[in-house]
Homo-oligomer: A and B are copies of this chain.
Amino acid sequence: MKKLINQVENVVKEALMGVEAAHSDVVRVFYEPDFIVRADAPVKGKVGIVSGGGSGHEPLHSGFVGVGMLDAACPGEVFTSPTPDQILAATRAVNGGAGVLHIVKNYTGDVLNFEMAAELAQADGINVTSVIIDDDVAVQDSLHTAGRRGVGITVIAEKICGAAAERGDDLKVVADLCRQVNANGRSMGMALTSCTVPAAGKPTFDIGNNEMEIGIGIHGEPGRDRLPITTADEITAMMMETILKDLPFEVGDETIVMVNGMGGTPMMELYVAYRKVAKICQAQGITIARNLVGNYITSLEMAGMSISILKVDEHLKALWDAPVRTPALRWGI
């Protein structure tokens, strides 16, 4: 295992200490239980937004805490759900009196632990609404999930809901918006290589030199097909066909598109893929109004990519464009 780490058991904590050292102008970090909040939390009268999940997907979620996006992120151990006490502590820390939205990726452990934390917070008198993200079109059930997995649309939901909360929308409005984003967003991923969880010390799965996994999950869960590697254009077309048919996206739709690297993919390759995504959208009369190309929801050092597409209206576009300042996503401020 070739990694820039110290003791395996300290990697998540030491990475958090790095985030704290690098971004103290934007976030504050708490330990035991571990969570990250925006520097000015709690913001009185504002809906708080908490997300979280296993570590190893950075910048998701810790990189998205800040003005205009998340109020708090709860990082579990690598590829392991955060505990209810982390989520509860984060929920309390960002409660500004207007309620708290939990944005939860659909993995069984995450769902259970966020649910338990929400109940405990409610018992404290904090109004919590949870929205589950399940945008992955690749497989119905999988290793860690009943139903579809939550993947790239989470990034976009966090941005859009964060903007709504920032301008003062109430909890019901922000939660409905999150459901709208989830309902109109679809994603799919693929991998060329596995990744290695530090505590495991060996690759999560075996894959041949000429093979790729289509429809893979963000923890290396199997996808829908193990196929021989083909060209970027064919891979992209295969993924786009599944994604576009699923909603379905139709002529005249406006979208936000994310071409996301899994952690070990050169930017050059992501742009080769984005070029094909743009061609396919153009040919089908779908407009890409906004886009992200880069590493936003990763699987450690896995080589591969995911594509996420959200159908948007003027309202969602305006929220997307609103100022944001987090360690990993920033514009307008």
Contacts and interface: CB of A to CB of B under 8 A. Distances in A.
Interface of A: 2-7, 11-12, 14-19, 21-22, 55-56, 58-59, 63, 78, 192-193, 209, 212, 229, 231-233, 235, 263-275, 278-279, 291, 293-295, 298, 300-301, 303-305, 325, 327-328, 330-333
Chain A, interface SS category:
mixed
Shortest 7 CB-CB distances between A and B: which pairs? A18-B271, A58-B267, A18-B275, A21-B278, A4-B269, A2-B192, A15-B271
A89 B11 CA distance: 48
- A7, A209, A264, A300 — most chain B CB neighbours (10 Å): A264
A266 B58 contact: yes
A267 B59 contact: yes
B270 A18 contact: yes
Contacts of A19: 271
B266 A6 contact: no
Given A2-B193, A232-B5, A330-B330, A15 B268 contact: yes
Contacts of A12: 268
B2 A275 contact: no
B278 A14 contact: no
Contacts of A328: 294
A269 B78 CA distance: 12
Nearest to A235: B4
A19 B273 CA distance: 10
A2 B272 contact: no
Contacts of A56: 266, 268
25 contacts: A3-B266, A3-B269, A4-B270, A4-B273, A4-B305, A7-B231, A11-B272, A15-B271, A17-B275, A18-B270, A18-B272, A21-B279, A22-B291, A56-B268, A63-B267, A78-B268, A263-B266, A264-B264, A264-B301, A266-B300, A268-B300, A294-B328, A330-B330, A332-B332, A332-B333
Given A21-B278, A275-B14, A300-B268, A2 B263 contact: no
A271 B55 contact: no
Contacts of A3: 192, 232, 266, 269
Contacts of A305: 4
A199 B244 CA distance: 33
A78 to B, nearest CB: 8
A209 to B, nearest CB: 7
Contacts of A331: 325, 330-331, 333
Contacts of A2: 192-193, 209, 212, 229, 303
B300 A301 contact: no
A231 B263 CA distance: 21
Contacts of A304: 4
B63 A231 contact: no
- A2, A273, A331 — most chain B CB neighbours (10 Å): A2
Nearest to A267: B58
Nearest to A272: B14
